[in-house]
């Protein structure tokens, strides 16, 4: 027993303790929300001492920001994949990128809550800001490709179009896909997103009325 106890107390090294805490936090976020647990609870869930997280994170907020950063990286990769799969049609690429938002929220609830439900300050964290910007750039690129179909004098800024679809997608997720009041609506979240996107793009003249 005396020989095995020291081994049991050092399952992590500096290379994986950080990620172990992120993974533990994801489970806690899904269970309690991004503000419903302490750093000590994350340490306990990861199987380390209460002092161990401070090797990598200043506080709980710092840990949540890392969860959010990793979430934006995953989100950006999913958007990029959706954009590529929608080619060569600019419309299908743009629509696929919008649907990827809904898919991400469903399949990565812990990351999603850390990104959008924890009131993290993206601007104050350069690494987080970079990951968020890269994810948004995929949607902006899809919007730019689609907007090129319009005459220059009727062409809205691509970033504006991307932000509108981001806001629409986020609203659909929050109201219709995550157990909120709208979840009992007669239409699915996918239908709401598709119809909302269609109405918006028709208004811009990007798809036939």
Which of the pair, 92 or 179, is modelled with greater confidence? Answer: 92
Q: Give the residue among 171, 145, 168, 167 at the shortest CA–CA distance from 158.
A: 145
Domain at 60-204, CATH homologous superfamily: Tetracycline Repressor, domain 2 (1.10.357.10)
Measure the CA angle with vertex 171, ends 37 and 137; round to 5°.
90
- Report the greatest alpha carbon distance in the chain: 78
Map out the domains of the chain as residue ranges: 1-57, 60-204
**Among the listed ranges 7-16, 48-57, 94-103, 179-188, which one has the minimum average pLDDT value?**
7-16
Render pLDDT for 112-151 as a digit per residue (tens, 0 to 9): 999 998 888 898 999 999 999 999 998 898 888 888 888 9
> Across residues 166-182, what is the average pLDDT?
80
Structure token digits, residue 43: 């340490």
Which pTM does this prediction carry? 0.85
C-beta separation of 120 from 64 below 8 A? yes
Q: What is the pLDDT of residue 2?
A: 43
| Measured distance CA(32)–CA(27) in Å, rounded | 9
Write the pLDDT tens digit of every residue in 30-70.
999 999 999 999 999 999 999 999 999 999 999 999 999 99
């Amino acid at each position: 027993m005396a020989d095995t106890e020291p081994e049991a107390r050092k399952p992590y090294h500096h290379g994986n303790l950080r990620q172990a805490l992120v993974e533990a936090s994801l489970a806690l976020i899904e269970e309690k929300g991004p503000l419903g647990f302490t750093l000590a609870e994350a340490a306990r869930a990861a199987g380390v001492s209460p002092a161990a997280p401070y090797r990598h994170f200043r506080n709980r907020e710092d840990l949540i920001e890392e969860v959010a950063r990793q979430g934006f990286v995953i989100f950006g990769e999913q958007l990029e994949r959706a954009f590529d799969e929608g080619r060569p049609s600019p419309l299908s690429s743009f629509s696929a990128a919008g649907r990827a938002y809904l898919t991400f929220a469903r399949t990565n609830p812990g990351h999603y809550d850390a990104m959008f439900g924890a009131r993290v300050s993206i601007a104050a964290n350069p690494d987080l800001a970079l990951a968020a910007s890269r994810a948004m750039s995929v949607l902006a690129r899809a919007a730019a490709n689609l907007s090129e179909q319009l005459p220059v004098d009727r062409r809205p800024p691509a970033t504006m179009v991307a932000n509108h679809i981001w806001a629409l997608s986020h609203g659909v997720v929050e109201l219709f896909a995550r157990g909120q009041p709208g979840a009992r609506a007669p239409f699915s979240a996918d239908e709401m997103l598709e119809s909302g996107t269609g109405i918006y793009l028709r208004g811009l003249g990007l798809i036939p009325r």
